[in-house]
Structure 1
Amino acid sequence: MQPPYRVLGPCQAFRTDDGTEVVLCGARLRALFVALAAAGGRAVSTRALIEQVWADGDRAEGRNPDRDDDRDRTAALQALVGRLRRALGREVVVSTPGSGYRLAADPDAVDLYRFERLAVEGSAALAEGDPARAAVLLDEALGLWRGPALADLPDRETDPLLVRADQRHDRARRDRLATDLALGRATEALAPLAALAAGQALDEPLQALRIRALRAAGRPAEALAAYEEVRASLAERLGTAPGPELRTLHAELLADGTATTPAAPELVPGPEPVPASESVPAPSSEPASGPAPAHAPGPPPVPDPRYRSALPARLTSFIGREDELGALAALWGERRLVTLTGPGGVGKTRLALEAAETYKDGPVHLAELASVREECTVVAAVLDALGARRTQLWQGPSVPGAGSEEPFAEIVEHCAGKRMLLLLDNCEQVVAAVAELTQTLLTRCPGVTVLATSREPLGVPGEVVRPLGPLAAGTALRLLGERGAAARPGFVVGEDPGAAEEICRRLDGLP
C-alpha cells in the first residue's frame, strides 16, 4: 500500500480515510505541504516554514527574512495553513507550542521516510546473506520514487534532507543491483550498473561491483578491460593506484582466466540449438565449424538457428493469442516497426517473445528495458542486448543538444548491413529515447526490424500499432485452469465454474 503523503517526485496527498487524492492548487500550498511532510511528523517553526515556502521570492526581491519585517508572510502562512487544513482535514495539520506546525502522521505515512526504512532493511538483509528478501524490500523502496525528491520546494537544492535522500537513493540502487548479482542475475544488472558507474568513475566499490557483474555474466575480457580503465583513471586524475578490493578482484580475474575466458559456451553444430550467453557474438567470432558469412552470400541471408538462444526460455505454456501471433508473423518482411500496446499484465512481453520465434530472416536480440529508468541509459541497454557493450568509462549522462550529434552512432555501426530483429521490451518508461533510437535505426539500417512492447505507441513514422485487449472468457478460464493446477495439484476449473468465471471477470481477463 502506497503512503498517503508523497514527496519523492511531484507532491501528492491522499485522504487517509477513503484514499481520495487531494488537489493542492498553487505552488505555495504545495511547498507548505512538502515542508511539513518532509519533517516526518515533527514540528516545524513558523520561521523555517516561511524560509522554505518563500525562498524563491526572497532571492528575487533581495530580502533577508532574518532582518526584514515579515509579518505579512506570517499572515500569509496562516492563510496557507487554513487552506491545507481544508484540503487534508483540520486534524491533519496541527499547531504546536512555540508558533509552529506539524503533520499529524507517522513517518511511515510519508514516502520519503518509508523509503529510508525499506532501504535500510533491504541493505541489512543483503549483508545478512538473504538477497531474495533484500530484493523485495529494495524493489518496494525504489518503487516509491516518481521523480526528484522535494520537487515542489522552491529552494530544494540547499535542503540537507535532499542531499541525504539522494545519497540513500544511490545506495539503494547499487544495493539492488548487488542483489541481482547475488541471485545469479548478473546479465540483467549490467546495463543499469554501467549507467550508474558512468558518472562515478572514482567510486571504487561501485566499479568493483560492475567488474564482478561482468565476470559473473561470462565476460572476463571486458571485466579486465574495465579494471584497466579504472586503474588508468585513478592514476591520471588522482595519482593513486586502485585500493585493496579492486586489486584483489584483478588478481582473481587473472587467476581464473583460463576457466572463464570464453564469453559464452561453445556452440556445437547440429539440429538442436545449444544455449548461449545473453549476448550473441558477431559471425566473425563463431567457431570455425559454425556457419560463416560466406554460407549466405545472397539476400535474404539464411539465419543461424542457434540465435534463437538469445531469447529466454519460457517456463509455462502459451495459451490464446493465436490470431494475434499469426498476424504478427505475417508482418515480417512487410513492416519494420510493430508496437504491441496495452495495460500492464495484458501479456505484451509473452506475445512478443512468441512472435520473435517466428522471425526467420536473422538473429533476434532482446533488450529488456523494464529496469531502465533514465533515457540516457537506453543506449547502454541496447548495446548490451546486441553484444556490443562499450568498455570505456562514461563521463556522465549526455545533455541533449550538447556533445556528439550522433548519440546512437555505435549502435548504427554495429547494425549496419545486417538483418536482425530487435525486440525492445517495456519501453513506456523511456519512450522518447526509444522512439528516437528506433527512428534512427529504421532510417540508417534497412536490415533491422523492430518489435516493441509499450503501454503507449512510440509515434515513429511507419509504426504498426497492435493493441492487446483482455483474454476471451474461454481462454481466460483455460489459462486459470492450467496455472491453478500447477499451483495446486488436482485443481479443476469445472468444480466451480461460477467462481472461476467470477475470478476472470474481476481480473478483467488479464493473464
Structure 2
Amino acid sequence: MLYSVLGPTLARTPDGTDVAVGGPRVRALLTVLALRAGRTVPVGELVAEVWAGDEPPADAVAALQALVGRLRKALGRERVLSAEGGYRLDARPEDVDARRFERLTTEGAAALGAGDPARAAALLDEALGLWRGSALADLPDRDAEAARWEARRLDARRARLDAALGLGAAPAALPELTSLCAAHPLDEPLQALRIRALRDTGRVAEALVAYESVRRALATRLGTDPSPALRALHAELLAGATAPGPAGPTAPGPAAAPPPEKPVVRGNLRARLTSFVGRDEDIAALQDDLRGARLVTLLGPGGAGKTRLSQEAAERGAADGAWPDGVWVAELAPVTDPEAVVDAVLAAVGARETVLRGAGAEELRQAEDPVDRLVERCAGRRMLLLLDNCEHLVAAAAALAETLLARCPGLRVLATSREPLGVPGEVVRPLGPLPLGMALRLLGERGAAARPGFSVGEGRGAAEEVCRRLDGLPLAIELAAARLRLLSVR
C-alpha cells in the first residue's frame, strides 16, 4: 500500500487504485501514522494531533480505538498494528510520498553538487511530481509541520531551477523564477538564480537592477547586506562576465586565441577585484597543512591579510581538485551572538533555516536542530569550510568545528583568527608581516591603481619607510596607497 500526505491524504494500492479512507478524523489519524511509518506512535500523541484545536472526547482512548477500527477496515487489519502504548502503520518509509520526496531531493541536490544538472533535474522533477496540493492537508493543526515541508518544497524548486540554468535553459526558467522571487523577496539564493537567469539571457542591465532591488530590500527590512555569493555575482556583472548569448552569422576572419579560463570553483567564494601580491610560500605551506590536517587555523593580527590569503589558498586547492564539493566561506565578523554562529554557517552553505513563529513553532525548532541540519548539509561531501574572523567567537566556533569534523568525515575546516581555536588535531599556521620587497610591490600596484603612472622607484627610500612604519601589514599598506591620489609617497 502507498500513502500520500503531500496534499489530501490518500491510500493507494500498488496497481494505482485509491482506497476510501473515511472521514476527516480517520484521514488525520492516517496522516500522523504515515509520517511516522514503521514507528510506534503513543496514544497520547495520536489523540493530541487528531483532535488538535478541539476538546478531545471524554473517553479519548476509546474514541481513538474506534478511529483505528475504521482505518483497519479501510486498509486491512494487518496494516495498522497495536504496539505497547500506541499504534504503528506497517509500512516502509519509501511507501510514503513525503519520505520518497526527501530521498529524491537529497539525491538531486547531491547530483547538482557533483556537477550533473541533467541527473539532478530528473530526480527533482520526480520529487516535485509527488505533490498534489498543500502538505498535510488533512492534519487539523498543520501550520508548523506543514511549513517545514513547504520549505523543503521551495528548496527542491530552487535546486531544480539551478539545474535548469546549468542545462542552459535560462529562458524557460525565468518566468517561474520571477514569480517565486516576487513571493520570496528576501530569499537570497532564489534571487541569485533570477539574476543569473537574466544574465544568461543577455539582460545584464535588468540583472543589475534586480540586484539593487534585493540589496535595498535586505537593508530596509533586515538591516543586512547581501550575502558574499550575491555580492560576488554582482561583481561579475559589473566586470562584464556575462554568459554568451546566441550569435548571428559573422564574416570569416582570423580566429583569435581564447583567453585561458580560470577553473570554476563550487561554493560561495567572492570574486576578487584586485590582484593578489606575493605570499606564494605562505599559500604553499597552508595547502600542505590542509592536506595533512582537517582543521587549520591561520593566525595573525588584524590587517595581516588572513582573509585574502585563506581564500587564495582555498581557491587554488579547489581548482586542483582538493575539494570537489566546493569551498564555502562563513564570514563571522558581523556576528556578535555566539548562538548565531551556526545560523551564519547555515546561510553560508546555502541552508539558511526558515524562521517560524506561532503555535507549534517552538516544538518544530527543537526538532529541527540547526547543527543537525548543517551536518546533514555537509555529511557525505568533500568540501572546505572557511570560518573567517573567529577571534571574538572562539568558543562557539571551536565547538561547531569540532562537532562538524566528528560527524562529517569528508569536511575540512580552515579558520582565520587572532587566537587558536584549541580543538584537538588543530594545526596553527602563523602569518607574519610582508617582507619588504613584497610590501613595496603591493604599495606599487595599489599606488598605480590610485594614481596612474605611480612607481615606488620615484621615491624608493620614502616607500621603504612607509612599509616599515606600517609593519608590513597588507591592509595598512593598501590604505596608505589610496592616499597617493592626493599625496606624494614622501
> With structure 2 as the length reference, what TM-score do the two structures score?
0.48
> With structure 1 as the length reference, what TM-score do the two structures score?
0.47
